[in-house]
Amino acid sequence: MKERKPLRSEMGWSTTETITVRGYDLPSQLLGKIDLGGMAWLEITGRMPNPQEAEVFNALLVTLVEHGMTPQAIASRLISICAPEAMQASVAAGLCGVGSVFAGGSEQIARVLQDALKDKDASADLDAMAVAIVEDHAKRKAPIPGIGHPLHKPIDPRTPVLFGIAEKNGFRGRYVALLETISKTAEKKLNRTLPINATGAIGAILSELGFPWRICRGVAIIGRAVGLVGHIAEEMRNPIAYEIYERAEKEVAENGLAK
């Protein structure tokens, strides 16, 4: 008979008098001593961030919070008018869209960078890596994640700021350098403007911070959860979802009946 695997977790537990979270006493060691961004770091990595890590990580998270009237934000607002009694379901609905197209890019570029630099020492030839990466994507007709932006040209205004914050705190290393090399190599090969976008910057800096690529989407999810709550709060004060629905419904019905 198969033996039971014991259930273990380091996330947290309580006794009558104590509440332990990630090895810390929540009331005396965390409350008032760590901000939400630092707490997110602690939850994901299992250790407290130092001030440099906290500053960089918070900047990445803040970048991810608000992108205006995205499909996810509209979806959350639409669901909030259907089930106003269940705000969590509205946020969950929008979060369901933090997928490959609109928000999964950090994960993808982090994977490319981490795969390329795995087990490589400081003497690794970034130019050769970048050429290989660009050619591999070109051969597969796959877009290179993390570079290019439909609107922000010739640069994404978030990228230099994020790289500056990373540099100031000692986290502008070879992942960032490789992504810069990829961007330049791709621009030359494809003869297009392909600046590093915010998604790319985030993926590269998360790699500098030591986050495995598989968890990068989680960072985007945290940021978006904050933003979606913001949208639902605004929808409560100034509703627009019903108007968006009604216009679409009316146009579809008119076009359908006109046939």
Name which of residues 37 to 96 contact a second copy (CB under 8 A): 37-40, 43-44, 54-55, 58-59, 61-63, 65-75, 78-79, 81-96
- The correct pick among 158, 171, 180, 200 for binding a second copy (CB under 8 A) is 158
Dist CA 203 CA 218 (whole Å): 12
- From the list 117-125, 155-163, 170-178, 185-193, the region that binds a second copy by CB under 8 A is 155-163
**120 or 153: CB nearest a second copy:** 153
**57 or 175: CB nearest a second copy:** 57
Nearest distance, CB of residue 156 and a second copy, angstroms:
9
Contact (Cβ atoms closer than 8 angstroms) between residue 137 and residue 188 = no
- Alpha carbon separation from 14 to 18, 31, 43, 45, 46 (Å, rounded): 6, 16, 16, 21, 17
| 162 binds a second copy per the rule CB under 8 A | yes
**127 or 234: CB nearest a second copy:** 234
**95 or 178: CB nearest a second copy:** 95
Dist CA 156 CA 159 (whole Å): 6
Q: Phi first, then psi: what are they for 243, rounded to 5°?
A: -65, -40
Nearest distance, CB of residue 69 and a second copy, angstroms:
4
**153 or 192: CB nearest a second copy:** 153
SS3 14: strand
The residues in 181-240 that bind a second copy, with binding defined as CB under 8 A, are 214-215, 217-219, 221-223, 225-227, 229-234, 236, 238, 240
Dist CA 258 CA 44 (whole Å): 55
| 128 binds a second copy per the rule CB under 8 A | no
The mark string for 6-35 relative to a second copy (x by CB under 8 A, - otherwise) is xxxxxxxxxxxxxxxxx---xxx-xxx-xx
Nearest distance, CB of residue 122 and a second copy, angstroms:
28
Q: Which residue has the tokens 């605004």?
A: 234
Dist CA 225 CA 64 (whole Å): 10
Composition of the chain by helix, strand, coil, percent to 5:
60, 5, 35
Nearest distance, CB of residue 137 and a second copy, angstroms:
18
**24 or 131: CB nearest a second copy:** 24
Nearest distance, CB of residue 146 and a second copy, angstroms:
17
Nearest distance, CB of residue 29 and a second copy, angstroms:
10
**55 or 187: CB nearest a second copy:** 55
Count Cβ atoms below 10 Å from residue 120 Cβ, excluding itself.
13
- Alpha carbon separation from 123 to 91, 99, 117, 128 (Å, rounded): 46, 35, 11, 12
Sign of CA dihedral 208, 211, 216, 220: negative
